[in-house]
């Protein structure tokens, strides 16, 4: 199928992009196009105008900001996969990036596009929630920061207001003691996962996170379970305990989905905590 | 209609395009470069994979209008390229194609794989090629073809390189690539 007709603009600055979004007619941001172009080709999306933010150099930068890194929204999965910048994340982002789709998709797809798209099965929403990252949204009134937990509102739903765009992700630096795990259940390499488990334990920063993704809604943080794991070790989070915690938090899951997601989470916890 | 200027296989191209025309349709229908195939038009099959500014991309998911100023290389753009010549020979020797529909995308992905991951083992080759679907071969011949070329590459990569020839895509050039090209280029053509 071919996309329906649309207008196209490619502003050079964030301010010009915000102007273009504001202008009359239904406008949509085009980042890497790796989720939006399929929707356009299938005519599941028929925006009047695309605002291509690929020419805004500022959005491709990664900056060290003391206790965190500021990752521009247009940084690609492939750039993160290849590393090259020390992110103080013990390699978690590079690992997650390398598991997204295929190299040809990763060369174009962006971390900001993935987060803004908020596909429940997307990798960045779950991974960035486990890392307690924050999203930076720019609008007419300036910039605001939103914790990823509050940013992700549901399947394909975010806290971005009409006329706002995502400009960066703020990634807190982990301590030397931090350990992480990330496990997905996928039928074929590069496909969207059936289940995602993400785990992060940073004893020095007193942070413990277990996040379950690919649930059909926003990723689900299991804070009590994570606290128990941090306190008592892996014995306290056997598969049955993970499944029980998940059943309580997501009572509508069928038995198979429950097991899939519990297994993914358990394996992520093992990766993080196993000696 | 919007005017664009880009480089296609080393040739400067000026054209006007409708914003909704994706790069694969632009190449096939406006440039008559039908080596870039279209299978799914949703990023899944890999048949349309081309090099965009030196790295693989899905031509069905890039709009031509957004490629203003870009450098495109399609399967037709590898005349005289020693690595692609070796890949072509290996594909034919290992029966890595039957109908040939997937082959242009497969060659581009294999070309990138060999340059980026010269140490890849079989499992890694399979993972790296998982974004290119083949409905004929069962992949065994394709993987063997890539392995055949890769087997020459570590030797090539460690061999001393007096002078690396100039590449059409300078920004994708690395010292390792210079060595690979020198070694492969030194081989007699089949
Ligand atoms: C075959 C295939 C397999 C894939 N498999 C996976 C996978 O396993 N895991 C995974 O996580 N992803 C997967 N993806 C999706 C891929 O990661 C995309 O790159 C990503 O979802 C979207 O990023 P993008 O930059 O391409 O955004 P686009 O497609 O350009 O945009 C996506 C949406 O977000 C909006 N948007 C983009 N940027 C911004 C911004 N800065 N501010 C506000 N709104 C914005 C757009 O308007 C659009 O609605 C796959 C894609 C393909 C084609
Ligand atoms: S046609 Fe582009 S990936 Fe299938
Ligand atoms: S050779 Fe026919 S699809 Fe691969």
Q: Which residues of B touch A102 (CB under 8 A)?
A: 46, 109, 130-132
CB contact under 8 A, B58 and A108: yes
pLDDT in tens, A99-156: 999 999 999 999 999 999 999 999 999 999 999 999 999 999 999 999 999 999 999 9
H or E segment at A144? strand A142-147
pLDDT at position A84 is 76
Instruction: Indicate the top mutation candidate among A35, A78, A104, A125 to test ligand 1's pocket, ranked by most ligand atoms within 8 A of CB.
Output: A35
d(CA A150, CA A148): 5
pLDDT at position B153 is 77
Confidence of residue B177 (pLDDT cuts 50, 70, 90): low
Q: For residue A106, what is the nearest residue in chain B, using CA coordinates?
A: B57
Whether the per-residue pLDDT at A95 is higher than 80: the answer is: yes
For residues B136-140, average pLDDT: 97
Query: Dihedral, CA atoms, A189, A149, A120, A225, nearest 10 degrees?
Result: 70
B63–A contact, CB cutoff 8 A: yes
Confidence of residue A275 (pLDDT cuts 50, 70, 90): confident
Residues of chain B above pLDDT 90, percent: 79
CB contact under 8 A, B46 and A188: no
CB contact under 8 A, A108 and B61: yes
pLDDT higher for B40 or B156?
A: B40
pLDDT at position A185 is 98
Confidence of residue A210 (pLDDT cuts 50, 70, 90): very high
Confidence of residue B171 (pLDDT cuts 50, 70, 90): very low
Among the ranges given (A76-85, A173-182, B3-12), the one the predictor scored with the smallest mean pLDDT: A76-85
B87–A contact, CB cutoff 8 A: no
Buried b (16+ CB within 10 A) or exposed e, A87-103: bebbebbbbbbbbbbbb
CA distance B139 to chain A (A): 14
pLDDT at position B166 is 34
d(CA B149, CA B84): 10
pLDDT at position A1 is 79
pLDDT at position B183 is 55
pTM: 0.93
**Angle at which helices B103-116 and B175-185 cross, to 10°:** 120
CA distance B158 to chain A (A): 22
CB contact under 8 A, A8 and B65: yes
For residues A192-208, average pLDDT: 96
pLDDT at position B178 is 58
CA distance A268 to chain B (A): 21
Among the ranges given (A78-87, A93-102, A235-244, B140-149), the one the predictor scored with the smallest mean pLDDT: A78-87
Whether the per-residue pLDDT at A255 is higher than 60: the answer is: yes
pLDDT in tens, A217-249: 999 999 999 999 999 999 989 999 999 999 999
Dihedral (CA of B100, B104, B108, B111) sign: positive
For residues B4-25, average pLDDT: 98
pLDDT higher for A147 or B186?
A: A147
d(CA A216, CA A119): 8
pLDDT at position B168 is 36
pLDDT higher for B155 or A182?
A: A182
Average pLDDT for chain B: 87
pLDDT at position A60 is 97
Q: For residue B126, what is the nearest residue in chain A, using CA coordinates?
A: A189
pLDDT at position B164 is 36
pLDDT at position B73 is 98
Instruction: Indicate the top mutation candidate among B92, B107, B134, B141 to test ligand 3's pocket, ranked by most ligand atoms within 8 A of CB.
Output: B134
d(CA A259, CA B48): 38
Count CB atoms within 10 A of the CB of residue B165: 10
Whether the per-residue pLDDT at B163 is higher than 80: the answer is: no
pLDDT in tens, B81-111: 999 999 999 999 999 999 999 999 999 999 9
- β-bridge mates for residue A17, sequence order: none
Dihedral (CA of A82, A73, A180, A63) sign: positive
pLDDT in tens, B65-84: 999 999 999 999 999 999 99
Task: Tell whether ligand 3 has an atom less than 6 A from the beta carbon of residue B98.
Answer: yes
d(CA B124, ligand 3 centre) in Å: 21
For residues A28-43, average pLDDT: 98
Q: Which residues of A touch B127 (CB under 8 A)?
A: 189-190
Which residues of chain A from 69 to 128 reach within 8 Å of chain B, CB to CB?
A: 78, 101-105, 107-108
pLDDT at position B182 is 55
Whether the per-residue pLDDT at A166 is higher than 60: the answer is: yes
Query: Dihedral, CA atoms, B99, B103, B104, B105, nearest 10 degrees?
Result: 130
Closest CA to B49 of B122, B120, B129, B157: B129
pLDDT higher for B176 or B116?
A: B116
pLDDT at position B152 is 87
Count the alpha carbons within 13 Å of B22 in the hemisphere toward its beta carbon: 29
d(CA B135, ligand 3 centre) in Å: 5
Confidence of residue A86 (pLDDT cuts 50, 70, 90): confident
Domains delineated in chain B: 2-77+167-183 (3.10.20.30), 78-158 (1.10.150.120)
Whether the per-residue pLDDT at B158 is higher than 50: the answer is: no
d(CA A216, ligand 2 centre) in Å: 26
Closest ligand (CA of B47): 2
The ipTM (two decimal places) reads 0.94
pLDDT at position B188 is 37
pLDDT higher for B160 or B95?
A: B95
CA distance A28 to chain B (A): 14
Closest CB to B41: pick one of A1, A6, A30.
A1
């Amino acid at each position: 199928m071919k996309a329906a007709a649309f207008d196209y603009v490619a502003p050079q600055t964030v301010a010009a992009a915000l102007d273009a979004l504001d202008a009359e007619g239904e406008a949509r941001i085009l980042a890497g196009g790796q989720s939006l172009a399929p929707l356009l080709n299938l005519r599941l999306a028929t925006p009047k105008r695309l605002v291509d933010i690929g020419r805004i150099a500022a959005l491709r930068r990664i900056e060290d900001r003391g206790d965190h890194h500021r990752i521009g929204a247009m940084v690609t999965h492939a750039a993160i996969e290849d590393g090259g910048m020390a992110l103080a994340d013990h390699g978690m982002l590079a690992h997650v990036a390398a598991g997204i789709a295929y190299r040809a998709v990763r060369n174009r797809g962006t971390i900001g596009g993935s987060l803004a798209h908020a596909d429940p099965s997307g990798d960045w929403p779950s991974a960035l929630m486990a890392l307690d990252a924050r999203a930076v949204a720019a609008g007419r009134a300036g910039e605001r920061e939103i914790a990823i937990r509050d940013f992700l509102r549901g399947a394909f739903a975010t806290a971005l207001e009409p006329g706002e765009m995502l400009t960066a992700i703020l990634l807190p630096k982990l301590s030397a003691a931090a350990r992480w795990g990330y496990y997905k259940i996928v039928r074929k390499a590069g496909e969207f996962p059936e289940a995602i488990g993400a785990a992060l334990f940073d004893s020095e920063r007193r942070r413990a996170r277990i996040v379950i993704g690919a649930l059909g809604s926003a990723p689900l943080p299991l804070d009590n379970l994570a606290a128990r794991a941090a306190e008592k070790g892996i014995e306290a989070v056997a598969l049955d305990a993970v499944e029980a915690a998940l059943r309580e938090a997501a009572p509508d899951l069928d038995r198979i989905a429950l097991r899939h997601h519990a297994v993914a989470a358990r394996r992520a916890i093992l990766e993080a905590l196993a000696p | 209609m919007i005017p664009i200027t880009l480089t296609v296989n080393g040739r400067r191209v000026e054209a006007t395009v409708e914003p909704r025309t994706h790069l694969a349709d632009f190449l096939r229908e406006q440039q008559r470069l039908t080596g870039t195939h279209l299978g799914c038009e949703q990023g899944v099959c890999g048949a349309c994979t081309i090099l965009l500014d030196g790295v693989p991309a899905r031509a069905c998911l890039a709009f031509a209008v957004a490629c203003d100023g870009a450098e495109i290389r399609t399967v037709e753009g590898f005349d005289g390229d020693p690595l692609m010549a070796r890949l072509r020979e290996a594909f034919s020797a290992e029966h890595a194609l039957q109908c040939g529909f997937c082959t242009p995308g497969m060659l581009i992905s294999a070309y990138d794989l060999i340059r980026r991951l010269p140490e890849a083992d079989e499992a890694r080759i399979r993972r790296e090629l998982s974004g290119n679907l083949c409905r004929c071969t069962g992949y065994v011949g394709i993987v063997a073809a890539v392995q055949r070329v890769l087997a020459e590459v570590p030797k090539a990569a460690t061999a001393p390189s007096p002078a690396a020839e100039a590449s059409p895509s300078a920004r994708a050039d690395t010292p390792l690539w210079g060595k690979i090209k020198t070694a492969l280029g030194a081989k007699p053509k089949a």
